[in-house]
Each structure stands twice: as structure tokens, then as C-alpha cells.
Chains A and B, each alone.
Chain A
Amino acid sequence: MAAQLVMYEDEFTKINAICDRLAKDANAKVVFLVDKNGQLISASGHTQQIDTTSLASLTAGNVAAMGGLAKLIGENEFPNQFHEGAKDSLYMTIVATRIVLVVIFDNRTSLGLVRLRIKKASDELGRILESMNRRNSRPEIGSPFAEISDEDIDNLFSE
């Protein structure tokens, strides 16, 4: 079972900066970073018209289904996926085995440029995520919610 994912402020800032830069450098519409379990980590670009929570969940479902297909044919996974639409296209890359980088772009850029920029960004993201993984798996770090009381939990349901 994979360890819990915990992200702190400085990591979040670094990750956001990388996603912002990728959106700009690749001339993409939107860049998302999604945990393989469907949790949205970061979003950059024109995210206003997109239901980001649904996008994160469906991305995870898609990556999981393609991962299942990969195993059926003897591959470990398909690290890159490209879906071409009439106007907008979507590129997904798996980073550090547990995160998915999603880039949505239109004809103002090209697949080649998007791939090139994704490669650089995913290397940088990979390094941050690896360090998060190492820290999260250290046993001496207790649950940050060890202090939650029964009352706190009950209060959530009091209304």
C-alpha cells in the first residue's frame, strides 16, 4: 500500500511554479497535476471553465484503465497518452510513478513543442515528488492529525 501523500507549502509553491511555466512555455491552455488516486494537486492556465475535480477523477480513471490494459499486454504502464480533439487536445504523462501531468492545448501550439516542454517539466516535478515520497515514508513522521479529537469529528456532522 502506498504511503499517504503529504504536501507542504514550499513544495506546493515549487510545483505550481513549474506548472505555470509549463503552461506558458508550451503555449498550452491548461496544465493539471493529478494524483493517480484522482486528487487534484495543482492547476495552471485557463482553468475557470473546467470542472477541475471531475477532470482529476476522470484522469485517474483513465490512467488506471490504460495501466490495466498495459499489464494485459505485458507492459508495466503507458507513461504517455495523447488524445486529439477537433479543437483541443490532451496529453498525459506519468511522473514519478504516482502523479499524472495533464496538458490541454489547441492549435496555437504543436504536439512537438508540448512534448518537449513536458519532458523538462516532468523531470523537475519528478525530483520534488521523489523527495516528498522519501519524507512521507519516514516512519518517525507521525500523523499530522494525531491531535484530532472525537469532538472535532462529531462537529463535522453536527448540523
Chain B
Amino acid sequence: MSFINYSQKEINCKIVYYGPGLCGKTTNLQYIYNKTSPETKGKLISLSTETDRTLFFDFLPLALGEIRGFRTRFHLYTVPGQVFYDASRKLILKGVDGVVFVADSQLERMEANMESLENLSVNLAEQGYDFNKVPTVMQYNKRDLPNAVSIEEMRKSLNRRGIPEYQAVAPNGVGVFDTLKSVAKLVLTELRKGG
């Protein structure tokens, strides 16, 4: 649910990066943080464990520029991917405007991808959202790894809905901004419809 402030001339939208543990959600945010100019971004906040696993969420505020005189700000969040943090994931989905599903391309993580996607759909429904209507983008991450599953295979398992999809190698930034732009566009388009 976006927040429009007429007085300050601002639109604020919330994007959540979802996906199984260690798929690269935090890495996406870190890359975006490192590659954006200081005046467009806020602090990257990571609530993580001592071993750098996300405990609650990562948060990065980003200003994209103006649209019809309104400053557009996107608040990017990640969820903790590990299965047992489900209660936290539900909380972070509250008020979401757009979702990036980060899938791990490695063969041995395919089951975890599917489980996480199913979990996303269930958790969205619990918040009153229909997964098929929430602006969502699919990112196939870790494409550089030798054990990466073919795109066709990933599409068949994870993207039957036919949402926009991007291949990525998040630590090098491949596909990271394409994914972000795509979900931002979907969210703004939804806003236009009055969603």
C-alpha cells in the first residue's frame, strides 16, 4: 500500500525481495546500495545474525526521481529466507506494493525455490493479497554457477504465471537494476490504475 503525501509531494512504495535462504536477496540490496549515488539513497539497515544471515529484514530507502512533480521513493526490504523465520516474513509483507522473487539457479535449490514461492503465495493471501495480482518480478540468480538449471526448466517450475523475468549474478550486478526497474514500473503502473 503506497503512501501519497500531497503536502510534501511524495509517493512512497514498498518493494519486498523474497526467496529461499542464501538465494541473494541481501546481495541485491547491497549491490544497489553500492552503485547508487549518496543523494538518492538512505542508510542500508541489516538486522542480521552474527553469521550475517538476515534475522528480520534488510532495508534500503531509494529515491528514483520525480513523476509529475511528485518525488518517488521506494523502500526496499528483504525477508529472512530461512524456513523457520516465517512469522517475520509475514510481517514484512504487510503493506507491500511489489515483490521481487529471487530464485537460486542451482539444481539442489530448486525444491527450496518452489517451497519459498508457495510460501510467498500463502503469506500474501494471509495479508489479504492475491499473489496473481501483486506486481511481481522473477529473478533467476546465480546464473554463473556451473550447476545452474536451464532457464526453460526454471520457468517451468517457477514462472507459470508468465511474469517479467531476469537472469542475474547479483554480486557482479548482472540483472540487479533491470529487476529493480521492472518491479518499480509495475508498481507505478498499478498505482495509476488506483490499486
Please say whether chains A and B are actual partners in one complex.
Answer: yes
Flag if A153 contacts B67 (CB, 8 Å): yes
| Closest B residue to A9 using CB positions | B7
Which residues of the partner chain B approach A11 to less than 8 Å between Cβ atoms?
A: 7
Flag if A156 contacts B57 (CB, 8 Å): no
Flag if B91 contacts A142 (CB, 8 Å): no
Contact digits for A115-146, partner B, Cβ 8 Å, 1 yes 0 no: 00000000000000000000000000011111
**Given A147-B68, A148-B67: A157 in contact with B181 (beta carbons within 8 A):** yes
* Listed stretches A18-26, A54-62, A103-111; interface member: A54-62
Expressed in whole angstroms, the Cα–Cα distance for A2 and B43 within the complex equals 28
Expressed in whole angstroms, the Cα–Cα distance for A144 and B10 within the complex equals 12
**Given A7-B7, A61-B57, A143-B191: A157 in contact with B1 (beta carbons within 8 A):** no
B191 to chain A, nearest CB (A): 5
Which residues of the partner chain A approach B4 to less than 8 Å between Cβ atoms?
A: 4-7, 144-145
Number of interface residues of B (CB under 8 A): 46
B45 CB-CB contact with A under 8 Å: yes
A29 to chain B, nearest CB (A): 20
A residues near B (Cβ < 8 Å) are: 1-9, 11-13, 35-39, 41, 51, 53-54, 57-58, 61, 64-65, 67-68, 142-148, 152-153, 155-157, 159
A-B CB contact pairs (8 Å), 23 listed: A4-B3, A8-B6, A35-B3, A36-B95, A37-B1, A37-B3, A37-B95, A38-B95, A39-B3, A39-B12, A41-B5, A51-B43, A54-B42, A57-B75, A61-B92, A142-B194, A145-B4, A145-B68, A145-B191, A147-B192, A148-B68, A153-B67, A153-B185
